[in-house]
Amino acid sequence: MNTLNHIPNEIYTTLSESRYADEDISRDDRIALVINMYIDKIFMAMFCSRNDMFKKSYSSISHIHRAYLKINLSIDGHLKKVSLNILEDNALRQLHQLANDILNSYDVTRIVSTLPILESIIKRSTVPFSQIDSTIKSLRFVLAVANQCEYEDISIVVPYIRIEPNTFDYMKGLRFISLDFRIKRHTGVISTSTMWYRMFEGIRFSRWDDDFFTSISALCNTINIGILPNASSGLGISAFLYESFISSKILAEYVRQTEASIVDYTTVTRALCAGNPWLNIDKLNSIISASLEADETDTLLTEDTSSDTGDLTDDDNTEEDGTLDKSADGSSIDENNPPDGGLNNTDESKPLLLGLSLALVANETLDGFMYKLRVARYIDTVIEFNRDELPTETVTLLTNWKSMLLFLTDAEETKRLLKELKITMK
């Protein structure tokens, strides 16, 4: 029986496609997998420790934290099947300590001094050379952002991580991003709250390139792991992260039309300008604003999440082909005569999203929030099993409704959607 299909790692994916069973994985492949998992842990730890807003709203990232902890089970399972030499054991211990220090917000000094050893272990893996090369580039990128080494490259490889709903598993691929990247290592101690933003400091633009928003957008779409809305802090409801703002035109418009804020906008723009002294904040802001406003159509475009390791689906900030001004069967909706149970809402006292007649959350009740959670779980089940054999278009609509609008709109809007689709949750 193939046991690798649900293992969240690009090397695992390659081995799974080669129809290896877990017990057939070679010693060198197994250690390379463990290194890969430690890099995932370091990346998620930096995401979780990035700023004070996260520390005040721990529940918004609890699913990411639990996924982080669950990686340990996979690591322990692989290490029990191999005997490490002294160099290998020391190299893995350094990765473990770094991930732990970052997650617990300890001040981080130089911990990982074994990068050449880590790279040599990965090179012994039996996966294709191109994958070995991209894995090493992602290793260097993550350790450089974590202030463990210096790194310079004309094209970076960045981990693309998504958390599996309800299971706290995660899926991962690698993204090639055409960005000139140069980053130095700070001597001494560095705070974990600022570590994440070093990746923006490392980006280098040409002063003659006015279209660098495309590169920023590609990076933000990749690193935007996704958080749960947090009612007490407002994170994910009234305050958002920089990359989620850049990744989604829907969210960008929502921020403009409401009092929502970007909690780390200034931090990111200052980091970008620090790495590009010729670029001032006013110019950067105007470019970003103009780029986000360029698309005047209210569409949800499907993000291309393909990578060299396979296609993954971004369930956190994808945009769907098609518009929300069409009914489920593709026919146009007459805004003056909406169908019974449609999404149109004629209550002018309610705020509108993107010019569509969708009521935003005003005073969320506990019942309304619990209903949304139940809908989210139902949609997750549909995505995984689709026991009711819903049409592909309906599954896509539900997926994007959950990822983009479920927690932004009033619960009644979701009830209307399900009624229009003739869906009864079981």
Domain borders along the chain are 10-185, 203-296, 325-420
pLDDT at 387: 78
Q: Rounded to whole angstroms, how far apart are CA atoms 325 and 357? A: 10
pTM: 0.70
**Taking a C-beta distance cutoff of 8 angstroms, is the pair 358, 343 a contact?**
yes
- Read off the pLDDT of each residue in 267-287 and give the average, rounded to a whole number: 88
Q: In this model, does residue 286 exceed pLDDT 70?
A: yes
**Taking a C-beta distance cutoff of 8 angstroms, is the pair 210, 287 a contact?**
yes
pLDDT at 341: 33
| Positive or negative: CA dihedral 371, 376, 380, 383 | positive
Cβ partners under 8 Å of residue 109, min gap 6: 188, 189, 190
pLDDT at 395: 83
- Read off the pLDDT of each residue in 397-424 and give the average, rounded to a whole number: 85
DSSP for 364-422, please give it: --HHHHHHHHHHHHHHHHHHHT-TT---HHHHHHHHHIIIIITTTB-HHHHHHHHHHTT
Q: Rounded to whole angstroms, how far apart are CA atoms 38 and 44? A: 10
Neighbour-count burial for 141-175, b at 16+ CB within 10 Å, e otherwise: bbbbbbbbbebebeebbbbbbbbbbeebbbbbbbb
Q: In this model, does residue 14 exceed pLDDT 50?
A: yes
Q: Which residues sit opposite 163 in a β-bridge?
A: 170
Q: In this model, does residue 197 exceed pLDDT 60?
A: yes
3-state DSSP call for residue 203? strand
- 310 or 97, higher pLDDT: 97
Q: Which residues sit opposite 171 in a β-bridge?
A: 162
Residue 273 banded pLDDT, cuts 50, 70, 90: very high
pLDDT at 165: 63
Cβ partners under 8 Å of residue 307, min gap 6: 10, 160, 173, 174, 175, 176
- At 170, the amino acid letter reads Y
**pLDDT for 107-161, tens place per residue?**
899 999 999 999 999 999 988 888 899 999 999 999 999 999 999 999 999 999 9
pLDDT at 336: 37
- 39 or 363, higher pLDDT: 39
Q: In this model, does residue 310 exceed pLDDT 60?
A: no
**pLDDT for 343-393, tens place per residue?**
333 444 444 444 456 777 777 787 888 888 889 888 888 887 787 778 777
Alpha-carbon torsion, ordered 283, 252, 56, 199, to 10 deg: -50
- 184 or 206, higher pLDDT: 184
**Taking a C-beta distance cutoff of 8 angstroms, is the pair 9, 161 a contact?**
no
Mean pLDDT, the chain, integer: 78
- Read off the pLDDT of each residue in 161-175 and give the average, rounded to a whole number: 81
Strands 352-353 and 310-311: unpaired
pLDDT at 169: 79
